[in-house]
Amino acid sequence: MTDLSANSAPATRHGASLLKQNARTRRRNRAEARFRAYGIAAIAVGLAMLLVLVFNIVSKGVGAYSQTFVTLEVELSESKLDKKGNRDIEEIKKVSTFGYAPLINNAFAAAVKEGGLETRLKPKDQAGILSKSAPAQLRDYVIANPDKIGETVSFRFLANSRVDGYLKGRVTRDSIANDKSISAEQLDFVDQLAAAGILKKTFNPDFVLGSDASDQRPESAGIGVSMVGSLFMMLVVLALSLPIGVAASIYLEEFAPKNWITDIIEVNISNLAAVPSIVFGILGLAVFINYMHLPMSAPLVGGLVLTLMTLPTIIISTRASLKAVPPSIRDAALGVGASKMQAVFHHVLPLAAPGILTGTIIGLAQALGETAPLLLIGMVGFIASNPPDSLAAGLLSPNSAMPAQIYEWAKRADPAFYERAWGGIIILLVFLVTMNTLAVILRRRFERRW
């Protein structure tokens, strides 16, 4: 009893009852509630912006994944393609793409007749709704299959970008008033073809797999080849920056004496991480291309430049994860007679691995999205038309990269390219999100092990 009364003495000093908050506590709680509200508001603003961004990108870019096609039965008439009739491939190759245009015109005429369509357009103008790549497509097919000459084959041609834009609502009859490449009659014709089922808008895998196309043919441009360019660059970045970065960090963190030289190195690595990427680009231009004479526009050079950019990121994150390994582990290893290198490779490095991996993946993701340095080493513009067929070609022959391709499309005048730029951004973002998710998963996975 006496104890109890002794304990209650300080309670009375603070205020009467615990059931009632005193002014000080109330003030503190209010401050906390306010802070929480700020936090939630900040997150809400962030999320809202993210939503707007994602909505914008998806709504503008999703159109790039579908494309308008025209399916036609084309008669590969022998009289036009192989006058002598001996199927000599050299002879067939002499027929230029212009020689194929009449075949398409005929195919249109046949389709109009068969479908009973009413149009005053001449067959040549009817064929004008197709992509300029249509005759070339036909020619490639014939050269690959000369035995089909004389038969009638069904082809799926790309419609040109105006027609495609008309079906996607980007092009209207008003907007083409001054447009020489398409007329209102042609749009009427498009409507008729669509009603007849000859012209359709469907998913277009060539956007994901194909290569860039010239200014005149946005409908056939794809991001596939520049994706391969990015892939080869990432291979170079990974193969160089991971071993170099990890070796440098291990040396600096575990072996190097702590003196002013290593201090200077440390400061400069942090500085490098903050250097704008365009500086690395101009450095790459000066050193790798002008001095070492490596080929312009090659993914190898792009990879080297991006390696320079990624190294500081990897070194900093690797050193941080090495530092996070408790020194007692090193002591334990040294204490049973392990050498310093054994201590590092048997014990410290495995513990630091998840952090190193995360840092590497984030560094790679940064490099993947980097555009500025690529502009300086020429990895931009209409470059490669076919995917490389070997490792050497992949590294050395001119190519673009995803972000550079997107930049290239975005600056072209035709709005059809603009749509493709957004479509490319979707792919790039999918890659980045995948990589970052992978980083998070790896980190979780390894951290839970012990």
Q: Which of 201, 330, 412, 443 binds other proteins (CB under 8 A)?
A: 330
Place of tokens 């300029």: 132
Alpha helices in 157-203 (DSSP H): 161-167, 184-196
Residues 6+ apart with CB under 8 A from 348: 254, 322, 325, 329, 330
Give dist(CA 24, CA 262) in Å, integer: 51
- Measured from the CB atom, the residue of 46 and 326 that comes closer to other proteins is 326
- Measured from the CB atom, the residue of 85 and 350 that comes closer to other proteins is 350
- Measured from the CB atom, the residue of 173 and 444 that comes closer to other proteins is 444
Binding mask 236-275 for other proteins (x = CB under 8 A): ---------------------xx-----------------
Q: Which of 334, 393, 429, 442 binds other proteins (CB under 8 A)?
A: 334
Q: Which of 342, 385, 386, 437 binds other proteins (CB under 8 A)?
A: 342
Strand partners, 202: 67
- Measured from the CB atom, the residue of 1 and 336 that comes closer to other proteins is 336
Q: Which of 11, 44, 143, 332 binds other proteins (CB under 8 A)?
A: 332
- Residue 183, sorted as left (phi over 0), alpha (psi -120 to 50) or beta, turns out to be beta
Query: Does the footprint of other proteins cover residue 171 (CB under 8 A)?
Result: no
Give dist(CA 280, CA 366) in Å, integer: 14
* 212-220, 229-237, 277-285, 325-333 -> range binding other proteins (CB under 8 A): 325-333
Distance, CA of 273 to chain centre: 23
User: In the bound complex, what is the minimum distance in angstroms from residue 395's beta carbon to other proteins?
Assistant: 40
**395, 273 Cβ separation under 8 angstroms:** no
Binding mask 411-450 for other proteins (x = CB under 8 A): --------------------------------------xx
Which contiguous run of DSSP H or E holds residue 416? helix 415-447
* 29-37, 77-85, 333-341, 400-408 -> range binding other proteins (CB under 8 A): 333-341
Place of tokens 């690529």: 374
Q: Residues binding other proteins: what is the number (CB under 8 A)?
A: 21
- Measured from the CB atom, the residue of 163 and 344 that comes closer to other proteins is 344
**125, 185 Cβ separation under 8 angstroms:** yes
Give dist(CA 402, CA 370) in Å, integer: 9
Binding mask 349-378 for other proteins (x = CB under 8 A): --x---------------------------
Binding mask 202-241 for other proteins (x = CB under 8 A): ----------------------------------------
Closest by CA to 217, choosing from 385, 431, 42, is 385
* 21-29, 208-216, 289-297, 331-339 -> range binding other proteins (CB under 8 A): 331-339
Q: Which of 304, 311, 333, 367 binds other proteins (CB under 8 A)?
A: 333
User: In the bound complex, what is the minimum distance in angstroms from residue 338's beta carbon to other proteins?
Assistant: 6
| Overall size of the chain counted in residues | 450
* 18-26, 127-135, 330-338, 392-400 -> range binding other proteins (CB under 8 A): 330-338
Q: Which of 275, 331, 445, 447 binds other proteins (CB under 8 A)?
A: 331
Q: Which of 1, 328, 389, 413 binds other proteins (CB under 8 A)?
A: 328
Q: State phi, psi for 185 to the nearest 5 degrees.
A: -60, -40
Query: 3-state SS string over 229-245?
Result: HHHHHHHHHHHHHHHHH
* 60-68, 343-351, 379-387, 417-425 -> range binding other proteins (CB under 8 A): 343-351
Give dist(CA 113, CA 9) in Å, integer: 106
* 44-52, 174-182, 316-324, 344-352 -> range binding other proteins (CB under 8 A): 344-352
Query: Does the footprint of other proteins cover residue 338 (CB under 8 A)?
Result: yes
Q: State phi, psi for 240 to the nearest 5 degrees.
A: -95, -50
Long-range CB pairs of 131-135 (<8 Å, 24+ gap) are: 131/157, 131/158, 131/159, 131/160, 131/161, 131/217, 131/219, 131/220, 132/160, 132/216, 132/217, 133/158, 133/213, 133/217, 133/219, 133/220, 134/104, 134/158, 135/97, 135/98, 135/100, 135/101, 135/104
193: exposed, middle or buried (Cβ count in 10 Å: 0-12, 13-18, 19+): buried
Query: Does the footprint of other proteins cover residue 323 (CB under 8 A)?
Result: no
Q: Which of 347, 353, 412, 429 binds other proteins (CB under 8 A)?
A: 347
Task: Give me the residues that bind other proteins (CB under 8 A), please.
Answer: 257-258, 326, 328-339, 342, 346-347, 351, 449-450
